[in-house]
Homo-oligomer: A and B are copies of this chain.
Amino acid sequence: MQTLPLAGIRVLDLTQIFQGPYASFLMAMAGADVVKVEPPGGERMRQGSGANTTLSFATLNSNKKSLTLDLKHPRGKELLKSMAAQADVLLENFAAGTMDRLGLGWEVMRAINPRLVYGSATGYGLTGPDRDLLAMDHTIQAASGIMSITGEAGGPPARAGGTPCDIMGGIHLYAGVLQALLGRNRTGQGTLVEVAMVEAMYFTLTSDFAAYHRTGALPERRGDKTPANTAPYGRYRCKDGWIALICVSEDQWTRILEVVGRTDLAGNPDYAGREKRHARESEINAMIEAWSAKLSRDEAFAAMRKNRVPVAPIRNLEDVRNDPHMHARGTLRRMQHPDMGEIVLPRAPIRLSDYACAEVAFFPEAGANGAEVLRDWLGLSAAEIAELEKDRVI
């Protein structure tokens, strides 16, 4: 086993909420030395300390160090610049232009450290007519088009559950920074890395853009499936929940018929091929639900699974956080936090066989590592650090 792949990489992490912190979480889990730079009092998403810390914050800030720093204070700015001179990566997801207004933007940082990789994640990017439009996951769901194709037929456009735009932005920022570090290994130079959530979401709609191109008709909302011309494909009600399944081959069709006890239809040319089944979709869905409605979700899932149909139970969040599979793989861990009690925390969803898998270390309290970081990175003395504390710079 090797040391972690990003060992030795120093990251100044100014990110907040979800998008940026996911990128720096992945860096920390891959072995980088991530210093979270927070405003005095800590970033807003903490919503408190100790037992009051949000699980969102705990999930996205494992394995980081915390330094509080007032970036509006002249000495706060100087400290950040001094640290940037030593850093490999600086990450921020403020609104476009914020760092420039603080006098801490990319041009300033590059002059201090030409090797610095400076990662910016925003809603719409650093250029273009929508650059200054305020953005959160919710509004990007609207702007990206995903909301227009989520929800029931005839109903209003709906949010996709969770915050997929934030996380999609964050993982693209992470990939962009790694791409820049690979480039730096050749050129010796850093670069500005720019990711816009609305652009990162575009590819999630690939199949819908293709359906639109093929048919000329705007994809309509259909809560059970994409516009694909294939059936069966959807959600099926069981006694106590739902299963989701999809059939993409003739073999799978035959296997579904076996499970639901309708082998009389196997080989029937009226049901052969995706197009013909698509034309009989309502009938086929009713046939499957006539079977599934008599079973529990887990029974229906097990029967389809056993016959090698692409199927899954529609799981709620209790199911997911207890998922035996992700716990067996070590991706999810039940951990006893001294203040928060038992919580489930995830590792990074990227594994490299020849490197150790970092253990989760709990998020730091705001400023917990300030003195250590200022000593290690900048060689400050205890007296200097005490003065910075007294003057509320850190």
Interface residues of A (CB under 8 A from B): 2, 5-6, 18, 22, 26, 30, 54-56, 59-60, 106, 124-125, 127-130, 133-136, 138-152, 155-164, 166-168, 170-172, 174-176, 178-183, 185-187, 189-196, 198-200, 202-210, 212-214, 218-219, 221-226, 233, 235, 237, 242-246, 248, 305, 308-321, 324-326, 328-329, 331-332, 343-344, 346, 349-355
In the complex, given contacts A142-B313, A170-B203, what are 13 additional A-B residue pairs having Cβ atoms less than 8 angstroms apart?
A55-B206, A59-B210, A127-B328, A129-B328, A143-B312, A145-B315, A157-B242, A161-B205, A172-B349, A183-B352, A185-B185, A199-B326, A212-B317
**Complex-state Cα separation, A233 to B326, whole angstroms:** 33
- B312 engages A167 (CB within 8 Å): no
- B147 engages A235 (CB within 8 Å): yes
Question: Which secondary structure characterizes the binding site on chain A?
Answer: mixed
The 8 Å CB contact of A315, one of B143, B176, B225, is: B143
- B156 engages A223 (CB within 8 Å): yes
Interchain nearest-CB distance for A63 vs B (Å): 14
Inter-chain contacts of A167 with B (CB < 8 A): 168, 203-204, 206
- A150 engages B143 (CB within 8 Å): no
Inter-chain contacts of A150 with B (CB < 8 A): 150, 158-161, 223
Give this chain's copy count. Answer: 2
**Complex-state Cα separation, A207 to B144, whole angstroms:** 20
Inter-chain contacts of A204 with B (CB < 8 A): 162-164, 166-168
The 8 Å CB contact of A178, one of B157, B179, B207, B332, is: B179
Inter-chain contacts of A237 with B (CB < 8 A): 156
- B202 engages A351 (CB within 8 Å): no
**Complex-state Cα separation, A332 to B205, whole angstroms:** 14
**Complex-state Cα separation, A337 to B184, whole angstroms:** 35
The 8 Å CB contact of A207, one of B163, B202, B320, is: B163
